[in-house]
Amino acid sequence: MWKKVLCLWTVCMILSLIPIVHDTYAEEQKQTLIIEVEGDPEKVKEEIEAYHPFVEVVAVYDIVFKGLAVEGKAEQLAELGSIEQVKTLHQVQTYETQPQHSDNADVTEQLEPSASKPYDINTTDFTGKGVKVGVIDTGIDYEHPDLQKNYQGGYDLVDFDDDPMETTPEEGQPTEHGTHVSGIIAGNGDIKGVAPDAELYAYRALGPGGSGSSVQVLAALEKAIEDEMDIINLSLGNDVNIPDYPTSMAVNRAREMGIIVVIANGNSGPDAWTVGSPATADHSVSVGASTTPQKEPVLTDTLEEKEIPLLEAIGAPQWELDNDYQLIDMDNMEQGQSLHGKIAITRRNEIPFFELALQAESMGAEALIIYNSESGPLQASVDNNRQPVNIPVASIEKEEGEWLQAQINKGNYFIDSIQKENTITIAPFSSRGPVTVHWNIKPDISAPGAGIWSTVPGGYQAMNGTSMASPHVAGAFAVLKEAHPDWTDEQLVGALKTTAQPFEEAETRLNATTQGMGLIHLEAAADPSTIIYDPQLEFGKLNQYQEAFTETVTVENKTDKEQTYYFEMPERKDGFVWDIPQSFTIEPQAQKEITVKLSMNRDRLEEGVHEGWLTLREGESNYELPYIIVNQEADQPKTAGFEFYLEPFENADYKYQFYVTESVKKMNVSLYNPETFLFERKLLEETELKEGKHEGVLRKEEAGAPGYYLALITAELENGEFEQIETMIMIE
């Protein structure tokens, strides 16, 4: 059951989740909370309406989550603490989209030859006909000529009506994300989606400017379940790597109810541990993004055998330069020196990227390269409201920029700009696993997510992101469901995972926490000879001196002939002892449960995360089963999800909560001035914390002076090392 939802929100292609904070006058303003209850939420709603008339119930959840969303002033919400059925409360969370790249084109223009088209992955005779796919996103432009045929309805959880149209300029900052996602799933015009005959239902949970909250996402999940969706796509998430946020729990519940829920893994790569909730949900199908066959610009110095990839800036023309060019250091130009016909290079500084680009353009440069001032990749954007940038702009890493700088300092320096066919692999922005606490492999699978050409209001665009990869998988499930209407969801998921093709680089297979099972292969999944259920072997954490772990997998023979399978002997690894069946036979159209046992010696194995693959063979076919185990400790974030807010049921106090992913000797939170970074005071300190969720209460007088603060959270680990993270909090 869902009800009207009131709140202000934010959207997602790879997305980041932050707590809602209130301004200095929060006591006078309304707040929204999600309350988890025991028993029937409708009866709690009746009690609130009868005895707390100034508190508005804005949503009731009784399908994927037992609770309510309520709105009121702090002192009014405080009175709800007297209701016996109230179990706990959750802060409302906000989701935001952060597009990686966007190329505008008019509807009538020819499609860009370098862009990947969604239907490229579907070489089957099936089109998803009769399968219902729900898209929880920013809405949909159902008047788009490529989407009109397939749009069947939905609901707007922002404006509370049956019209889930994308936000238009007249309503606020316009959106386009949901339309792009929908076109990938089921475009049926100039753009063909993966499942061009699937039935599209849109649930607008994210409003103007791409804003949305967990209140609306939960309500959208409930409405999609009420409407009996077969598949739900959530191209949204956050960067908090913990498995049990309310939205993650709701996703698991939807899966238990027979709905396949597909979720973008996030765009915070390439580091490990960057997957965020709700993609961390145990029963979600989380999707990483792969690159697609495209030409990519690179600088190459053949004499020095040096090649430097260029990361194109958002909002700049495509980098199509194909010649040799002189490089000029724009930061140290001689008086009267010209940039005409040359490429300018500059180090990242406090000047906005678009101003640097406009400056280089005004001086006649053919293009601009910005190199990072710190280690790691740099995704630049030159979008601005003043004037467009008309020259290509790209970024490179610090080390590469300093190398080029050294060549320029030797004298006139020329370098070739070429277009190189890219190697298809995992996109650098795609978030990686594993999941903390549960140590699960995420993503589950990968799909194309770079340069994906699809529908947007008024035309088409190419976009990057796991938000684009996720609908490829949702569309693939629609195709499989049409092809095999009698299959269970477990078979559909197992088929897509079993037939995925793992990526390798330099003849070394990438870890599963980077790619999941590999790149989807839809044609093979539609007609598999074998299905392996739950092929990811997640053994957990080794704490004892010697432990044995057991995982079971079900193998199904989908052919009409008896099949004999055998495992290749795993690579020898000190501290690992495998006990796996040498061979086994499965009758036609039958299943067999197989036990895989791993014994480990803690002291003969390095601490940390250990990953690898087991290979199962049948005839000429290979099936890859990834495994993961953590020996004692890992390098994961030790704290996550810190929240600090006024306790609504105890108006004089603040409540705080956070997670630790392993035992912590001491944790303290210190407050700094966010502008000067000067230390203000210590907010709280806790000791001897065990793995899991922790929460507590701080009196108002203990919290100290009101204001916005930069909170530095320092965890002292059992081994004496320290870890620090930062977040913004407000004391009212």
| Domain identity same for 206 and 130 | yes
Q: Looking at 380, 396, 420, which one is the last position of a domain?
A: 420
Q: For residues 135 and 201, is the Cβ–Cβ distance under 8 A? A: yes
Q: Judge whether 80 lies within some domain.
A: yes
Bridge pairing between strands 132-137 and 199-204: parallel
* Single-letter amino acid code for the residue at 28: E
Q: CATH code at 726?
A: 2.60.40.2550
Say which residues have a Cβ less than 8 Å from residue 406's Cβ, sequence separation at least 6.
none
- Rounded distance between C-alpha atoms, residue 489 and residue 645, angstroms: 40
| Domain identity same for 431 and 415 | no
| Domain identity same for 263 and 304 | no
pLDDT at 113: 42
Q: Judge whether 508 lies within some domain.
A: no
Q: For residues 140 and 130, is the Cβ–Cβ distance under 8 A? A: no
Q: CATH code at 466?
A: 3.40.50.200
Say which residues have a Cβ less than 8 Å from residue 32's Cβ, sequence separation at least 6.
6, 7, 20, 58, 69, 70, 71, 92, 213, 215
pLDDT digits (tens, 9 = 90+) for 624-667: 999 999 998 888 888 877 777 776 665 568 888 888 887 888 98
| Domain identity same for 432 and 580 | no
* Single-letter amino acid code for the residue at 690: K
Say which residues have a Cβ less than 8 Å from residue 723's Cβ, sequence separation at least 6.
637, 638, 639, 714, 715, 717
CA–centroid distance for 481 within its chain: 25
Buried b (16+ CB within 10 A) or exposed e, 241-272: bbbbbbbbbbbbbbbeeebbbbbbbbbbbeeb
pLDDT digits (tens, 9 = 90+) for 529-567: 999 999 999 999 998 889 999 999 999 999 999 999 999
pLDDT at 92: 67
Q: Judge whether 109 lies within some domain.
A: yes
Q: Looking at 608, 631, 654, which one is the last position of a domain?
A: 631
| Domain identity same for 78 and 129 | no
Q: Judge whether 233 lies within some domain.
A: yes
User: H or E segment at 42?
Assistant: helix 41-51
Q: Among 308, 313, 331, which residue's Cα sits nearest to residue 401?
A: 308
Strand partners, 70: 33, 57
- How many C-beta neighbours within 10 Å does residue 288 have? 34
- Rounded distance between C-alpha atoms, residue 365 and residue 451, angstroms: 26
Q: Among 43, 51, 57, which residue's Cα sits nearest to residue 82?
A: 51
Q: Judge whether 643 lies within some domain.
A: yes
pLDDT at 208: 87
| Domain identity same for 275 and 152 | yes
pLDDT digits (tens, 9 = 90+) for 32-89: 777 888 899 999 999 999 999 999 998 888 888 788 888 888 778 878 878 888 877 6
Q: Looking at 596, 631, 666, which one is the last position of a domain?
A: 631
Which residue do the tokens 């492999």 mark? 441
Backbone angles phi, psi at 702, to 5 degrees: -75, -30
Give the torsion through C-alpha atoms of 694, 695, 701, 706, to 10 deg. 90
- How many C-beta neighbours within 10 Å does residue 112 have? 17
721 burial level (CB within 10 Å; 0-12, 13-18, 19+): exposed
pLDDT at 94: 62
Q: Judge whether 309 lies within some domain.
A: yes
How many domains, in total, are found in the chain? 5
Q: Judge whether 300 lies within some domain.
A: yes
| Domain identity same for 49 and 126 | no
Angle between helices 214-226 and 246-256 (to 10 degrees): 10
Q: Judge whether 5 lies within some domain.
A: no
CA–centroid distance for 87 within its chain: 30
| Domain identity same for 137 and 273 | yes
DSSP 278-319: TTT-TTSEEEEEE--S-EEEEEEETTTTEEEE-EEPBTS---
Q: CATH code at 71?
A: 3.30.70.250
| Domain identity same for 236 and 87 | no
Give the range of the structural domain holding residue 694, as residue numbers without chain letter: 639-731
Count of alpha carbons within 13 angstroms of residue 685, beta-carbon side: 7
Which residue do the tokens 């967990």 mark? 214
| Domain identity same for 306 and 388 | yes
Q: For residues 659 and 621, is the Cβ–Cβ distance under 8 A? A: no
CA–centroid distance for 166 within its chain: 22
* Single-letter amino acid code for the residue at 554: T
Stretches where the chain sits below pLDDT 50 are 1-27, 98-113
Order of strands, edge to edge, in the sheet holding 67-72? 56-61, 67-72, 31-37, 86-91
pLDDT at 506: 82
| Domain identity same for 534 and 620 | yes
| Domain identity same for 614 and 698 | no
* Single-letter amino acid code for the residue at 294: Q
pLDDT at 728: 77
DSSP 435-495: -TTT-----SEEEE-SSEEEEETTEEEEE-SHHHHHHHHHHHHHHHHHH-TTS-HHHHHHH
